[in-house]
Amino acid sequence: MQFTIAGHVFELDTAGVERLIEGVLPDPVREHYVVVRGRRFPPKQVLVAVTGLDRADFTTHQARRILMRLGFLAARKGRETPNAEVSDQDLLPGGDGPHGGRQAAALEPYVGQWVALGEPTEVLVAADSPQDVLAWLSRHGKQATGMFYVPADLADAEGAAPA
C-alpha cells in the first residue's frame, strides 16, 4: 500500500511493519496507541521506525490513520472510541482475581517476556531480558510498581520450592 507522508512516498505493508518493529521496545503510551503483534506502541513511534522520518514530520492522527489502513488496531487508553477502534475495556474479559481478570488479560500478550507494571493493568514495557527492562525505565525516567517475568507455562507460574 502506498502512502505519502511529509512529501515522501512510502510502500508499506502489514508484514513489513511487523518485521521492522519486532525488536523495538514500545515507548510509554500517553493516550493513543496501536497494537502490533500484541504490543502497544505510540503510533508515531511505529511510523518513525518504519519510515525513518522525524516525529515532527507528521501528526499522531496521520500515523494512526495510516496504521489503521494497514490493519492494525488503534485505540485510546481508557476511553470509549468509535468505529474500528476499541477502548481498553473492550480488550478485557471478565474473570477471577482482584482485578476481575483484567490484569491477566493485559499480561497475556507478554507471555515469555520480562515486564514492568505501572498501574495494575498497565504494562509499561516488555522485553526479552530484565536488563533491557531496567535500561528502558532508566532511559524514560519511569517508575514501575513491579517487575517480573510473565511465565510461559504453569511450572514457571507455580514458582519454585527448594528441594
CB atoms within 10 A of CB 109: 17
Cell 490493519, located at residue: 71
Q: What 3-state class would DSSP assign to 45? A: helix
Q: What 3-state class would DSSP assign to 123? A: strand
Which element (helix H / strand E) includes 87? strand 86-87
Confirm or reject binding of residue 161 to other proteins (CB under 8 A).
yes
Confirm or reject binding of residue 104 to other proteins (CB under 8 A).
yes
Confirm or reject binding of residue 132 to other proteins (CB under 8 A).
no
Confirm or reject binding of residue 13 to other proteins (CB under 8 A).
no
Confirm or reject binding of residue 91 to other proteins (CB under 8 A).
no
C-alpha 32: how far from chain center: 11
Q: What is the 3-state secondary structure (H, E, C) of 4-39?
A: EECCEEEECCHHHHHHHHCCCCCCCCCCEEEEECCE
Which element (helix H / strand E) includes 116? strand 114-117
Distance CA 115, CA 4 (A): 36
Q: Judged by CB under 8 A, which of 62, 65, 68, 99 binds other proteins?
A: 99
Q: Judged by CB under 8 A, which of 65, 101, 118, 132 binds other proteins?
A: 101
Q: Judged by CB under 8 A, which of 28, 91, 105, 132 binds other proteins?
A: 105
Q: Which stretch binds other proteins (CB under 8 A): 31-39, 47-55, 81-89, 102-110?
A: 102-110
Confirm or reject binding of residue 89 to other proteins (CB under 8 A).
no
Q: Judged by CB under 8 A, which of 107, 123, 126, 127 binds other proteins?
A: 107
Q: Judged by CB under 8 A, which of 32, 103, 122, 127 binds other proteins?
A: 103
Binding site for other proteins (CB under 8 A): 95-99, 101-105, 107-108, 111, 116, 120, 130-131, 133-134, 137-138, 142-151, 154-157, 159-163
